[in-house]
Structure 1
Amino acid sequence: MDWLTSMNAVLDYVEDNITEPIDYDKLAKIVCCSTYEFGRIFSFMAGVSISEYIRRRRLSLAAFDLQDQNLKVIDVAFKYCYESPTSFSRAFKDMHGISPLLARKQGFLKTYPKLSFKITIKGVEEMEFRIVKRDSFKIMGLKGMSTSIAQVGDTLDPLWRNFMDNYDNRLWKNYHAPLWQVGVYWNESKNSATPCIIGAEVRSTDVVEGMDIEEILPSTWAAFTIKGPAGKGADEAYARIRTQWFPTSRYIRNPNMQHLEIYPPGDASLNNYHWEIWMPVLEK
């Protein structure tokens, strides 16, 4: 199944299960990538996060249901997975501008139709990458679960925020290996979050108090250079790697390895800053 077919299959799955809790991990499996990568790809292609898309679709369908005078607001709220009429009314007013009860009387509402993905041929910038082969190496830092799929806008992932606030200075004071600051993301998910360790490459096995250490196995990587402030343009980068680079390259993603986000020394807020995404690859 190609990426376009897979992304449309995701939309079909969402529509078929719109009144049930939707597991983002299942959506990522349809596209054959991690939940972290899927969130990035969907946000770029759809212009909204997957969680926001589902929210808008539910509230659109709820608006139609409210035209049925026999349905209570509480029944509509529970149908579309809201825990209470209060939370439903708040979300409904945020999207439609009026309360559910007033919407039933006036009938003027916003609708958000189901999306579909199609191919558009247009000029694109070339992708700067190199192939890197590395033996095993160790990353020391903070291990946890990345929940970036639920992010909106430029909100920093809570795991990264914890790392920057409490681990950053202690780690860089003692270690300055080739991979200076790196986020390692496993190609698996649990409860819509992706296992991740954020830290630096280390040469010894001595663990700094309060930190974790993980060994990354030998692998071949496609290292993509992203120009601009750290993290900016990530959604587009992940989408282009998945939908443009892999289909036209002689490589496939290695499903058994983690992928990396690498941030070199320098002012990561500047437009001329360069950071990298490393994808583990196998020859087709």
Structure 2
Amino acid sequence: MISALNQLVALVEEHLAEELDVKVSATALGTTEYHLRRMFSSLAGMPLSEYVRRRRMTVAAADVVRGEDDLLSIAVRHGYGSTEAFGRAFRAVHGATPRAVRRDGGPLRTQPQLRFRLTVEGSTPMDTRVIERPAFRLIGHAARVPLIYQGINPHIQQHIATLPQQEHARLKALSNTEPAGLLAVSDDLAPDAPEGSELTYLHGVAVTQDTPVPDDLDAIGIPAGRWAIFHSAGPYPQALQATWAATATEWFPANPWRLRPGPSILTILERAEDFTTATCELWLPVEPA
């Protein structure tokens, strides 16, 4: 996977002035667009699209500062059809217009070319299992919420808080298949979604494929497939977020599996009364790499 990501970075450099076909590139690199985008954003800390934009504007800035060509020529050279479109992209990265940068020499915000390296980590073994599950359903109460990478998501907290206490007991009673108990489900998220983009969050349970769904509940159909299940225990949510990050930095590069489209599912096995610590399982849909 590390090699594939570095080859992707090289392809980005070759195609900075044009649209890179990530799907075709992923196939040539022996993986899928979904997995490639997910791994890139997890390890780079930004979506692939944002990295491409930053690199394109870093290279374009040198042309702007040199002042040898007019701004329209520079815009076209870097894949933009007008100085207006180029100016918007340029300002979004550098915080100033091309004309201001040409006049003042800055400010410039440089995005270096990325290099992915495999470091020696993994001194703590990851407690993981891979299972195959038949088709099932996730049912419960869904809401659209913004993505937040670090800390507790207040929008999810608010969504759960609006549910009556007896509704949690009702949902638990409906659960009749794995993963058991109340679940936190994240779905409809782009593979390289930036923080702040929306996802569907469902507070609910898993039921078998043929279980009738009450009219007042939302449902997500889950096809048959394999799941990697990661065990996490410790301070909440810090230990869980560390486990989530380690799936990209340690587990997937070391194992012959890749992510496939589908929701991520979190189940709380045990927790402290004040929720400062918890034992969790993180379910991620996978397929052979």
Same fold? TM cut 0.5: yes
Name 1:165's counterpart in structure 2.
Answer: 159
Deviation at 1:39, TM superposition (A): 4.4
Q: TM-score, normalised by structure 2?
A: 0.66
Does 2:230 match 1:224? Answer: yes
Higher mean C-alpha deviation, range 136-145 or range 52-61? 136-145
Question: Hey, what's the Cα distance between the residues in 2 that align with 1:71 and 1:114?
Answer: 25
Name 1:205's counterpart in structure 2.
Answer: 212
Does 2:283 match 1:278? Answer: yes
| Residues 146-198 of structure 1: per-residue CA shift (max 9 Å, x gap) | 9x9xx6854999xx958963898376453112142143769997999999784
Give the gaps of 5 or more residues in structure 2.
Answer: none
8 Å CA contact retained: 1:226, 1:237: no
Deviation at 1:19, TM superposition (A): 2.3
Question: Hey, what's the Cα distance between the residues in 2 that align with 1:269 and 1:62?
Answer: 52
Question: Hey, what's the Cα distance between the residues in 2 that align with 1:274 and 1:28?
Answer: 35
Please give the residue correspondences for 1:96-245 in structure 2 after superposition, counting only pairs within 5 Å.
Answer: 98-107=96-105, 109-122=108-121, 124-132=123-131, 134-141=133-140, 153-154=149-150, 165=159, 169=163, 172=168, 174-176=170-172, 177=175, 178-183=180-185, 198=202, 199-202=204-207, 204-209=211-216, 211-217=218-224, 219-227=225-233, 228-229=236-237, 232-233=241-242, 234-244=244-254
Question: Percent of counterpart pairs with the same letter?
Answer: 20
Question: Hey, what's the Cα distance between the residues in 2 that align with 1:19 and 1:269?
Answer: 53
Provide closer, same or farther for how the CA distance between residues 102 and 194 of structure 1 changes in structure 2, counting only shifts above 3 A: closer
Deviation at 1:274, TM superposition (A): 3.4
Question: Hey, what's the Cα distance between the residues in 2 that align with 1:105 and 1:268?
Answer: 60
Deviation at 1:129, TM superposition (A): 1.5
Name 1:6's counterpart in structure 2.
Answer: 4
Provide closer, same or farther for how the CA distance between residues 186 and 129 of structure 1 changes in structure 2, counting only shifts above 3 A: farther
Provide closer, same or farther for how the CA distance between residues 269 and 46 of structure 1 changes in structure 2, counting only shifts above 3 A: farther
Give the gaps of 5 or more residues in structure 1.
Answer: none
Residue type matched to 2:246 in 1?
Answer: E
Question: Hey, what's the Cα distance between the residues in 2 that align with 1:102 and 1:62?
Answer: 14
Deviation at 1:42, TM superposition (A): 2.0
Residue type matched to 1:41 in 2?
Answer: M
8 Å CA contact retained: 1:207, 1:213: no
8 Å CA contact retained: 1:57, 1:112: yes
Higher mean C-alpha deviation, range 264-273 or range 235-244? 264-273
Name 2:41's counterpart in structure 1.
Answer: 43
Provide closer, same or farther for how the CA distance between residues 212 and 47 of structure 1 changes in structure 2, counting only shifts above 3 A: closer
8 Å CA contact retained: 1:189, 1:195: no
Please give the residue correspondences for 1:262-277 in structure 2 after superposition, counting only pairs within 5 Å.
Answer: 262-264=266-268, 266=271, 272-277=277-282
Provide closer, same or farther for how the CA distance between residues 46 and 6 of structure 1 changes in structure 2, counting only shifts above 3 A: same
Higher mean C-alpha deviation, range 198-207 or range 73-82? 73-82
Number of residue-to-residue matches in the alignment: 266
Name 2:55's counterpart in structure 1.
Answer: 57
Deviation at 1:56, TM superposition (A): 1.9
Deviation at 1:66, TM superposition (A): 0.8
| Residues 5-51 of structure 1: per-residue CA shift (max 9 Å, x gap) | 2111221222222223456656665462463x544422343244423
Name the Cα RMSD after superposition: 4.7
Question: Hey, what's the Cα distance between the residues in 1 that align with 2:251 and 2:57?
Answer: 33
| Residues 45-82 of structure 1: per-residue CA shift (max 9 Å, x gap) | 32444233223212211111213435333554563559
8 Å CA contact retained: 1:129, 1:225: yes
8 Å CA contact retained: 1:145, 1:195: yes
Q: TM-score, normalised by structure 1?
A: 0.67
